[in-house]
Amino acid sequence: MELAVDIDKNQVADYYRQMLMIRRFEEAAGRLYLQGLVRGFLHLYIGEEAVAVGAIPVLGVQDYVITHYRDHGHALARGVDPKAVMAELCGKSTGASGGKGGSMHIFDVDRHFMGGHAIVGGQLPIATGLALSIKQRGGDGAVMCFFGDGAVNEGEFHESLNLASLWKLPVIFFLENNLYGMGSHVDKTHAAGRDIYASAEYYKIPAVQIDGMDLTEVHQTTAEALTRVRSGAGPAFLEAMTYKLRGHSVADPST
């Protein structure tokens, strides 16, 4: 895909800094987990940094981000304080969610970062509701909803896409396809295999598959999708092909 990417050198350097910060943050979180300082589950975003950093900075302050349980990278890309995120992982009261949410429930309402959701696909109807609220209030905001390939097999996925299309809601459905739902490859769990984006077209939502390892492609395609959403034309669907370089979680590194 040939793209006319409008990113200057300073932006490129800043995006690289953000990606490196997320990588180092996740590496540190993994070490703390192995030391017993982080409890419960810990799903690292290592390998997928270009998706969050390429997409989220395109948004304005009026827009919302909502995501799945592998949420640290999205929170950091949205500008949530790294100290608050790490404190949350460690269960401290200074954490982003007061130490009560943990790794899978990072929130920052001031930055319109609405989680972090442990239930697979649970964020999809919430994103649709947020978009409906924006439309009913006459705002110019949009919602960016991240989810994994495993969520596509949930009923909420189809319900959310259907209503968002019918009501022309300002939401970008952003699928991060890292090829595996825990240890199951997408070829064994999805009839569409690696072309899940095509399922959105059934709901008359423009959909495109992009290289999630290419920050410039993610950035440009997201900007184009956001322009459509802001115009009132309805939702957009992006499938970023990416890959996690660690296991499903730190507790089961072989998956």
**Could you report the per-residue pLDDT of 44-59, keeping only the tens digit for each?**
999 999 999 999 999 9
Q: Does residue 184 have a pLDDT over 80? A: no
Q: How many CB atoms lie within 10 A of CB 221?
A: 24
Proportion of the chain above pLDDT 90, given as a percent: 80
How far apart are the C-alpha atoms of 17 and 245, rounded to whole Å?
Answer: 19
Q: Out of 20-29, 71-80, 133-142, 241-250, which region has the weakest mean confidence (pLDDT)?
A: 241-250
Q: Does residue 170 have a pLDDT over 70? A: yes
DSSP 211: E
| pLDDT tens per residue, range 98-108 | 999 999 999 99
Q: Out of 14-28, 29-43, 192-206, 214-228, which region has the weakest mean confidence (pLDDT)?
A: 192-206
pLDDT at 1 (0 to 100) = 43
Q: Please name the residues in contact with 24: beta carbons below 8 A apart, sequence gap of 6 or more.
A: none
Q: Averaged over 237-251, what is the pLDDT? A: 88
Element (H, E) at 24: helix 9-34
Higher pLDDT among residues 182 and 77, named by residue: 77
Q: Please name the residues in contact with 52: beta carbons below 8 A apart, sequence gap of 6 or more.
A: 22, 45, 73, 74, 76, 77, 146
**Average of per-residue pLDDT values in the chain:** 93
pLDDT at 248 (0 to 100) = 82
CA distances 182 to 20, 23, 155, 252, Å, are 25, 21, 19, 9
Q: Does residue 5 have a pLDDT over 60? A: no
Amino acid at 185: H
pLDDT at 183 (0 to 100) = 73
pLDDT at 222 (0 to 100) = 98
For the chain, first and last CA: distance in Å?
Answer: 31
Tokens of 134: 């924006």
- According to DSSP, the residues that pair with 176 across neighbouring strands are 148, 240
- Catalogue all structural domains in the chain, each as residue range(s) with its CATH number: 9-241 (3.40.50.970)
Q: How many CB atoms lie within 10 A of CB 23?
A: 17
Residue 179 pLDDT grade (very low, low, confident, very high; cuts 50, 70, 90): confident
Q: What are phi and psi of 241, to 5 degrees?
A: -80, 115
Q: Out of 49-53, 163-167, 204-208, 251-255, which region has the weakest mean confidence (pLDDT)?
A: 251-255
Proportion of the chain above pLDDT 70, given as a percent: 96
pLDDT at 194 (0 to 100) = 73
Tokens of 74: 């999205």
